[in-house]
Structure 1
Amino acid sequence: MPEQMHLAFMTFSVLKAPYGDPSVQEFDDRTPDTFAEAESSDGFIDRAKPVEDTAWMTNYQKDWGRWGPFAVPRFYPGGTSSGSSYQAQTLSVWRDLHSVWTFAYRGARHRSALKQSAEWFGQQDWPIFAAWWIPAGHQPVWPEACARLEHLHDHGPAPHAFTFKSAFDPQGRPCRPNAKLEPEPA
């Protein structure tokens, strides 16, 4: 019987201004409801959350527990020190590609935020997300996610890291993210 696979999914964007700036406050205000929408979506398994979410701490200062130390891709212009933060990133695990695609493009709150993303984010010369298959039970960590996004940027979509436009199934075959994948016969 084939090993059960889940989908790891990282998003990464750079805000036009640091958190706390009025020009990006609406994005920050929407975040809790969007996370709640994701967590209640069919196929959602888990997402990176700090052990204790203290608002005054930067992501670098927070304890991310089993998600590992916080990390950003090499193309983040803000560096890795504490202080003002411009990065907006997530790391999550989903049952399958269809589930995260459905949340991203059919979830009311997320879809609405996507329509306004140009107000909050500047032009980015890297992929804003990467997806990859993991064995069920594997714990993705921030440094691993950054490496996958960087690989996608450097080499393009492949089973190692891919996008919705150029997606792969758990066996490495091209697939469509908006189609439910049927499990392989046992």
Structure 2
Amino acid sequence: MPHLALYTFGVLKAPLAEPAPLTQEFYDIGAAVYQRFVRQPGYLAHAEPADSDRGMLFGANWGAWGEFAVPAWYDKGRTAETAALAATLSLWTGPRPAFDAVYTGLHREALNRRYDWFERTGRPNYVFWWVSDDVTPTWRDGVSRLEHLHDHGSAPHAFTFRQSFDPDGTPAGIGDVGPKGDRVH
């Protein structure tokens, strides 16, 4: 059975290594969110470096998830001291479990604060695509799909909650899964 890959990318207002209270708050909330995600029904896995320090993204050993990559338009730092980004790569059983994880609980609270931490880039900040159950998506896959989404809009190759697709490419209508009036983006 296919799995749903999710890549997220955001440009932070300050480098990850900055000791400012907002940066620390982002880290603290992010750590708590991941602790809950791994217990979420439908969650399968996420990319984690085998060994790295806080903020170490580029050059870390990500194993089967491949070399860390970012969209071409990211123009900030690439060292542990200067990187100003947050990116995730994860696998889910389907859109509904991913939606529930993203739009409820602590992650929902974090989403409500995203503009405290992230710049508004005018670009998509997440993308989904289907993979075979024996495939581990790579960071480069995520970047490629996010850039495709930006350039071409939702399609079976790269899509969003609002305009999603089943593994066979049929439009899925996931935009209706949220609570009445809940904006899904």
TM-score normalized by the length of structure 1 = 0.88
Counterpart code for 2:5: A
> Paired residue for 1:139?
136
Tell me by how many angstroms 1:81 deviates. 5.4
SS state of the match for residue 100, structure 1? helix
Indicate the residue corresponding to 1:59 in structure 2: 57
Residue in structure 1 matched with residue 180 of structure 2 by the alignment:
none
CA separation in 2, counterparts of 1:52 and 1:32? 16
Deviation at 1:25, TM superposition (A): 2.1
CA distance in structure 1 between the aligned counterparts of 2:90 and 2:143, rounded to whole angstroms? 13
Q: CA deviation at 1:52?
A: 1.5
Amino acid in structure 1 at the alignment position of 2:113: Q
* Residue 103 (structure 1) aligned with residue 101 (structure 2): yes
Shift of 1:119: 0.7
Q: 1:125 aligns with which of 122, 126, 144?
A: 122
Task: Report the equivalent of 1:78.
Answer: 76
Runs of 4+ in 1 over 6 A off after TM superposition: none
Question: What is the deviation of 1:53?
Answer: 3.4
Change (3 A) 1:58 1:129: same
Quote the offset at 1:89 in angstroms: 0.5
**2:182 alignment partner in structure 1:** none
What is the DSSP-based 3-state SS (H/G/I as helix, E as strand, rest coil) of the residue aligned with 1:152?
Answer: helix
Quick check: 1:34 aligned with 2:33?
Answer: yes
Structure 2 residue runs without a partner (length 5+): 178-185
What is the match of residue 12 of structure 2? Answer: 15
- Per-residue CA deviations over 1:36-86 (Å, capped at 9, x if unaligned) read 11111000000000012333x621131111111111111112154564111
Which residue in the other structure is 1:172 paired with? 169
- Choose which of 75, 81, 87 in structure 1 pairs with 2:85: 87
Q: Hey, what's the Cα distance between the residues in 2 that align with 1:80 and 1:54?
A: 14
Rounded Cα–Cα distance in structure 2 between residues aligned with 1:127 and 1:110: 18
The separation in 2 between residues aligned to 1:82 and 1:119, in whole angstroms, is 21
CA distance in 2, matches of 1:93, 1:65: 15
Q: Is there any run of 5+ residues in structure 1 with no aligned partner, and where?
A: 180-186
Aligned-partner SS, 2:136: coil
Q: Does 1:68 align with 2:63?
A: no
TM-score, structure 2 as length reference: 0.89
Residue 174 (structure 1) shift: 1.2
Identity %: 37
Select which of 129, 149, 152 maps to 2:149: 152
CA-atom RMSD, angstroms? Answer: 1.5
Counterpart in 2 of 1:46?
Answer: 45
- Cα contact 1:61–1:82 (8 A) shared by 2: no
What code does the residue aligned with 2:69 have? Answer: A
Q: Describe the shift of the 1:25–1:78 C-alpha distance in structure 2 as closer, same or farther (beyond 3 A).
A: same
Q: Is the 8 A contact 2:17 2:80 kept in 1?
A: no
